[in-house]
A and B are shown apart, each in its own frame.
Chain A
Amino acid sequence: MSNLSPLEVSSARMDLYQAVRDYFSQSGAIEVEVPLLAAKTTTDPHINSFLVDGTSGLRYLQSSPEFFLKRLLSDNPQSIFTITKAFRDEEFGGNHNPEFSMLEWYRLDFKLADIIEDTLTLVRQYLGDLPLVRETYFSIFQRYLQLDPHQASLQDLQELVVQHTNYGHDCVSVEEALQLLLTECIEPQFQPGITVLSEFPVSQAALSEVEPDANGRFVAKRFEIYLGKVELANGYQELTDSLEQRSRFERDNLIRQKLGRATQALDEALLEAMDPSLPPCSGVSIGLDRLLMAKLDLEHIDSVLLFPWNKA
């Protein structure tokens, strides 16, 4: 199935969205709609937002509905989901289009393990009972590189980078080296089916809580789900503490400065809504275009978009 007609693709997408809506209406989450144009955007050092220069003011095309959903959740404790477009500048490729479709949801009082099961249930209901492998960041680095990613020094990592990759640089940080090794040496080994990857290094916590793992080592309560070698979902047991959230945003901006990127004003409306804290919850987002690609057994994201970037 490589060349589906626009109607076939659209019909498959309609079925997917119907399946998603059925799943959430049966499990007690309410569909909400949030803006695409927002006054503030993410501080994530590796996400570039589109800036829209309107007569009504400067706005960002949303790179994720997360901040709006959390603001909602704060004042209206209720499990919610949204199906929306999200936008990330400079991201194109076989699995990336700068404008893409995202499903994001939050469940009150869910821990990381609960939201992982929730996500797996949805994905397997839609795609069928795919084989499932559960890994931690530690276990995959042990298996493929015989390395402890939580302890390794930049020097240890740099040796592996030279040995196993074609990278044209010295890595400047442990994070860069870990992400490169994950991309170049580990993800390509993932087998067909589902891989759940959890317990990320604290430096990659983003918006998740940090807790000790079984060995008493602090890890991020964050997970990703891969379909084969393709990342499908990213989720957190959400960080609820607004002060910690603010300091992570500020740290992001320091990294942005180091990378020569513009810093982003913090989303004070989010931080205020989180003050003193967000209700305990977990959340996850899924790339719907990629889920559709998996369902239809298509290799390139352009095949599920009626008007991919270079034709839009």
Chain B
Amino acid sequence: MATYSTNEFRSGLKVILDGDPCSIVENEFVKPGKGQAFSRVRLKNLKTGRSWERTFRSGENIEAADVMDVEMQYLYTDGEFWTFMDPDTFEQQQADASAVADAVRWLKGLDVCIVTLWNGSPLSVLPPNHVEIDIVETDPGLRGDTAQGGSKPAKLSTGAVVKVPLFLEIGDVIKVDTRTGEYLSRVKES
């Protein structure tokens, strides 16, 4: 079993804590004068996304987590699993709903996502920062109103709802920032 000592803790290191894979966010060495030293560590639980704070004995060993990030193409879903493929090896992985989580509303066929694998299975999915998706539902557009402010909700073919300018129409393809959920630009008119 591979382990890391607290002395090796640095941001991004993957360890197992209470059975869950975690990524170390911050490690602070603290020592009360002449006494025992401790490591005050902030971790992100990679399963739940929650932030943890934990204090360790300095020098203590923690189990390493076999976690890696792989670029994979999203293929399709059967409603229960989302299938991704490694574009180099053509190896496929099935991610369940808890792994896909919030990314689900941005998943468009053939887009390249970052799939985090734990012991070889998908743990989480990160969509591309920018995606291009078509509008499937929105109020009728106001032609010629391209310069004015104002926005309206638009539902995209992947299920996400974003605020878009008033002139956009069903069938338009728009570019969205998945980190903020914000509309960036129109890519193509319907």
Number of A-B contacts (CB under 8 A): 64
Of the 9-residue stretches A116-124, A182-190, A268-276, which lies at the interface with chain B? A182-190
Give Cα A169–Cα B61 distance, bound, in whole angstroms.
13
Given contacts A90-B7, A96-B31, A182-B32, contact A46 B37 (CB under 8 A): yes
Q: A183–B53 Cα gap in the complex (Å)?
A: 15
- Please tell me if the beta carbons of B32 and A231 are within 8 angstroms of each other in the complex: yes
B55, A93: Cβ atoms under 8 Å? no
Does chain B have a CB within 8 A of A94? yes
Known: A167-B55, A180-B55. A234 touches B34 (CB 8 A): yes
Q: Smallest distance from the beta carbon of A262 to chain B beta carbons, Å? A: 13
A46, A166, A167, A176: the one within 8 Å of B34 (CB): A46
**Considering the chains assembled together, what is the distance between the CA atoms of A167 and B40 in angstroms?**
9
Does A224 interact with chain B (Cβ within 8 Å)? yes
A183 is contacted by which of B32, B34, B52 (Cβ under 8 Å)?
A: B32
Q: Which residues from chain A contact B53 at a C-beta distance below 8 Å? A: 166
C-alpha gap A60/B52 in the complex (Å): 39
| Residues of chain A contacted by B36 (CB below 8 angstroms) | 46, 175-176, 179-180
* Residue B110 lies at the interface, judged by CB distance under 8 Å to chain A: no
- Which of the four size classes fits the interface of chain A? 20 to 34
B35 near A175: Cβ-Cβ < 8 Å? yes
Residues in A neighbouring B31, C-beta threshold 8 A? 46, 91, 96, 183, 231
Q: Report the contact-size class of chain B (Cβ under 8 Å from the partner).
A: 20 to 34
Quick one: closest B residue to A48, CB to CB? B59
In the bound complex, what is the Cα–Cα distance between A92 and B28 (angstroms)? 9
Closest partner residue, chain A, to B27 (CB atom): A93
Contact partners of A90 in chain B: CB under 8 A: 7, 37, 58-59
In the complex, A278 has a CB within 8 A of chain B: no
> Which A residues from 190 to 213 make CB contacts under 8 A with B?
204, 206
Q: Within 8 Å CB of A47, what residues of B? A: 34
Interface contact B35-A91, CB-CB below 8 Å: no
Cβ of A25 under 8 Å from chain B:
no
- Please determine whether B34 and A204 come into contact, CB atoms closer than 8 angstroms: yes
Asked if B28 and A93 sit within 8 Å, CB to CB, the answer is: yes
CB <8 Å contact, B29 and A92:
yes
| B50 located at the interface, meaning its Cβ lies under 8 Å from any Cβ of chain A in the complex | no
Contact residues of A between 138 and 170, Cβ < 8 Å to B: 165-169
Contact B32 A93 (CB under 8 A): no
Q: Mark A33-62, 1 if CB is under 8 A from B, else 0.
A: 000000000001011000000000000000
Q: What are the residues of chain A within 8 A of B38 when measuring CB–CB?
A: 179-180, 183-184
Q: Please name all residues of chain B whose beta carbon is closer than 8 Å to the beta carbon of A94 when the two chains form the complex.
A: 28-29
- In residues 8-31 of chain B, which contact A (Cβ within 8 Å)? 17, 28-31
Question: Chain B: which residue is nearest A168 at the CB level?
Answer: B54
Partner of B30, one of A93, A166, A167, A224: A93
Choice from A92, A96, A168, A179 contacting B56 with Cβ under 8 Å: A168
Closest Cβ of chain B: how far from A90's Cβ, in Å?
5
Q: Interface readout for B43-74 with A: 1 if CB under 8 Å, 0 if not?
A: 00000000011111111000000000000000
Cα A91 to Cα B32 with chains together (Å): 12
Residues of B bordering A, CB below 8 Å: 7, 17, 28-38, 40, 52-59
Q: Would you give 5 A-B contacts (Cβ < 8 Å), ordered by A?
A: A94-B29, A166-B54, A180-B38, A183-B32, A184-B38
A residues at B contact (CB < 8 Å): 44, 46-47, 90-94, 96, 165-169, 175-176, 179-180, 182-184, 187, 204, 206, 224, 231, 234
**5 smallest A-B Cβ distances: which pairs?**
A93-B29, A179-B35, A183-B32, A166-B53, A182-B32
